[in-house]
Amino acid sequence: MLFDRKTIRWKLFTYYFLLFAIFTLSIILYQNKRETHFKIAQLETTLNEYTNLTNRYIEYHSLAKEKTFSKLDSLKNIISSDKIRITVVNFEGNILYDNIVADYGKMENHKNRPEIQKALFSEFGENIRHSATTNQEYLYYAKSYKTYVIRAAIVYDNSIAAFLKPDRVFIPFFIFLFLVFGFLLSYIANHIGDSITKLKDFAVKIRRNESINTDDDIQFSNDELGFISQEIIQLYQRLGKTKTELVLEKEKLISHLFVLKEGIAFFSSDKKPILNNSHFIFYINIISEETTISVEKIFASEEFREVNDFIDKTIAEKLTVQNQELPRMEHSVQKDGYHFNIQCIVFPDKSFEILISDQTQQMRRSIMKQQITSNISHELKTPISSVKGYLETVLNNPELELSKQHYFIEKAYNQSERLTQLVNDIALLNKIEEYSELYSREKVPVRKVINEAVESFSDQIKQKSIEVECVIEENVIVNANHSLIFSIFRNLMENSVNYGGDNIIISITKYHEDNAFHYFAFADNGPGVKEEHLSRLFERFYRVDSGRSRKEGGTGLGLAIVKNAVISFKGEISARKRKGGGLEFLFSLPK
């Protein structure tokens, strides 16, 4: 039965026999390689001593400074072996000394020799190769020093080759061990196979829905494997009674877990995972510093150390539930821009649950609100301070000339107008962001709205000699809110008029359309902005030139209003440097 290739006996024997064969072969190959490396290392250690000896001699006698490397011939009295070759090479590859070659000054450049290359880049190098100079095989060892490389070599002859050849005394022992293991495997495979065959018969009867009498139909051996087999049968009988209920409950639980946005996992008291959803896997791999981490390995992660300590402490204690409150803890983790809240609840049976909530968006919104509040406070402070300063000047100087009083009052009025514009822009922007669905939709003729926007800046356009080119047909209609469309073109026009300079050309075109959108381009040939500012142009209160922007009267919210208005209509907008100079905005509006 052992040699029947369909039986578990044969498979067990074959698998473990091959495994041990591979293991034995690996040990033999490893031992051979290890011995060879060890013996080469011995030779390299000897050659390293020669290079260090040579270097000490050079430094002691200042041969490098005096360029009298020929004095190294004195080392021949110390290094008596004629098989040892010492060569000194500078970093350019020129030969400074060689104890074998008499006329070493005529030797070719050695910079490209493998051992020299290695020494130049990693302190030392070694190689076994044929020498073109002496026509002999050498084992080379080169080591880099301050301004030169010292190379020691030994003739690679039969004695060296024999020395490096690994011993094979251990091979017969492994062959004997291999055969003994084969006989043991044969015996074990037969023993295990008997019980497994009976388990197979049991499984066949289950598949055929045949009635099973464990006392009469199947008899197992009186050992651990037989005991396990009996336990399997009993477990099967128990599981059969509750299979339907468990499947139903599991499906309900899994469906619920995968609907949750949180990552959740359940563990047994010995920290073995019972059930988890995909969000849990995703979140723990973000939190962990490892590239990938499995559920069962999170307790070895530093980020989950606090959770692990809580679990260990709670499980070690005698767990009592008071007022139906289970032991729980939670803490926050910040990782690579993400913010997570981790909660752990320990149940009465000491199994536990870990819940991971992604708080990133909430944190970002909180930070954004703080930044917006700070920016608004800063932007309001400037006009308010100006108004206060102008009025204090008038109040504190009652004898001030009427013309100067009028001048300061006019300045205060202008700042109050700027403050009003800023408040209106903030209110409009917040309304677009939070209540965009409340804006009514209607058919808006784009060309008419553009004419209205141009008319609102007619004085500035005339003063700065600006030319406006609008290449849009009268019949181009968008399905949007009239006031928001006007805000889009008015703010774009204001941006070009205020910051484009004099004698510029503003170009407004419709360059494409599809079934859902019209696509517009708004451009000017002014100075434009640098590349690094393009991605931030639509941020609230972002100014390319803060001082100049305030001088021109801008609130810093115009382009933010444009972007949010376009997005509220499900459109898209981007800014880019215009070919030939200037700035261009590309955006889409719905038909």
Does the structure show a pLDDT above 50 at 1? no
Same domain? 35 vs 150 = yes
- Quick check: is 69 in a domain? yes
* Residue % of the chain over a pLDDT of 90: 16
| Nearest alpha-carbon partner for 51 in 92, 93, 99, 94 | 99
Q: How far apart are CA 318 and CA 328, in angstroms?
A: 15
- Quick check: is 185 in a domain? no
Last residue in a domain, options 414, 435, 456 = 435
Range scoring the smallest mean pLDDT among 27-31, 242-246, 496-500, 568-572: 242-246
The pLDDT, as a whole number, for residue 545 is 62
Q: Going by C-beta distance under 8 Å and a sequence separation of 6 or more, which residues neighbour residue 544?
A: 499, 529, 530, 533, 537
The pLDDT, as a whole number, for residue 548 is 44
Same domain? 348 vs 405 = no
The pLDDT, as a whole number, for residue 234 is 75
Same domain? 289 vs 217 = no
Last residue in a domain, options 389, 411, 435 = 435
Q: Going by C-beta distance under 8 Å and a sequence separation of 6 or more, which residues neighbour residue 140?
A: 113, 115, 125, 126, 127, 128, 129, 151, 152, 153
Residue 449, token pair as written in the block:
């709205």
Does the structure show a pLDDT above 50 at 528? yes
Same domain? 90 vs 145 = yes
Does the structure show a pLDDT above 50 at 491? yes
Q: How far apart are CA 400 and CA 407, in angstroms?
A: 11
Phi, psi of 194 (to 5 degrees): -60, -50
Same domain? 406 vs 492 = no
- Quick check: is 38 in a domain? yes
Stated pTM of the model: 0.39
**CATH classification at residue 482:** 3.30.565.10
- Full residue range of the structural domain in which residue 445 is found: 439-590
Same domain? 394 vs 445 = no
For residues 265 and 280, is the Cβ–Cβ distance under 8 A?
yes
Torsion angle defined by CA atoms of residues 523, 524, 530 and 531, in that order, rounded to the nearest 10 degrees = 20
Number of domains in the chain: 5
**CATH classification at residue 49:** 3.30.450.20
Q: How far apart are CA 13 and CA 188, in angstroms?
A: 8
Residue 429: its H or E element: helix 402-435
Same domain? 544 vs 415 = no
Same domain? 310 vs 341 = yes
Residues 36-50, mean pLDDT to the nearest whole number: 85
The pLDDT, as a whole number, for residue 398 is 79
- Quick check: is 100 in a domain? yes
The pLDDT, as a whole number, for residue 581 is 84
Same domain? 18 vs 140 = yes
Residue 465 pLDDT class (50, 70, 90 cuts): very high
Does the structure show a pLDDT above 80 at 543? no
Same domain? 449 vs 540 = yes
Q: How large is the greatest C-alpha to C-alpha distance in the chain, in angstroms?
A: 123
